[in-house]
Structure 1
Amino acid sequence: MRSFGFAVGLLGILAVGGLGCGSQGNVAPVAGTITLDGAPLEGAAVSFQPIATDKDSMTVSGMGSYGRTDAQGHYELKMIETDGEGASVGTHRVQVSVAEEKGGDALTTDKVPARYRGADSELTFDVPTEGTKTANFDLTTKRKR
């Protein structure tokens, strides 16, 4: 039932991604690797959502991108609306989720800590004009002190 969990995670990503739809602007290729506690994070839904970085807010600003990690934790992004490769150039809020069905009653759990999921994710990334193959994130289940 892994596909159920991925569908739930992707639905959340698409809902957030749709908030800032508009002009695609400059797009660059983006790829990277995600680990959780040092191990590759397989089957994670990854989203990049452009954000305005004015001093007063971190609001959604543009079309988002999505990807899914493979067994090595590697992902490549595609634009939500067009499925074209890459992400908009600029600063993004990054969300990572691995939702899995738990039991027969369609309850889901996520092995990725809440601080990396949803609109309040603490992860950000600046997509450079030339793109990158090193948009890597080393997630941990325990907060560093």
Structure 2
Amino acid sequence: MKKKVMLFLMAIMMSFSAMCYASYGSDLDAETKIVDQFFAGGDYKKASAFMDPSLAKDLTADRYKEMFANMNKELGKMVQKDLRVYQVFSDGHVLVYAAKFEKGAVMELDVAFKVTNGKFSIMNFRVVDPNAQAPAENNAAKK
């Protein structure tokens, strides 16, 4: 009887802790869908629906199309992305991905989200080469 009670208590404790750790699961799912739609590079109207007004002002439809044309030319299409970091702040979240592209490049994809009344919007993003050195580091390495 004691074993059954202990097993029952252990199951309750584990399920409670699992619920506590999974509190951001629905947020992460929603943000992942937004990232997928935004970086599909297709329809600006769909992508702009998820942008913060300040980003939408800077990233016009022409700049959005030009950005993806350049990315497709230099890197190819994104074939895979793996979430590496999920940071939580009081007013938003940051997702960091390792993104693999057709031409073999693995880039770091950072997406910053703003949360307003439970609605997620992309506040900023960047695609960077994690192996690139800053110009100051390049000059120091040459000397």
**TM range, normalised to the smaller chain?**
0.3 to 0.5
TM-score (norm 2): 0.32
Give the strand-richer structure, 1 or 2: 1
Larger-Rg structure = 2
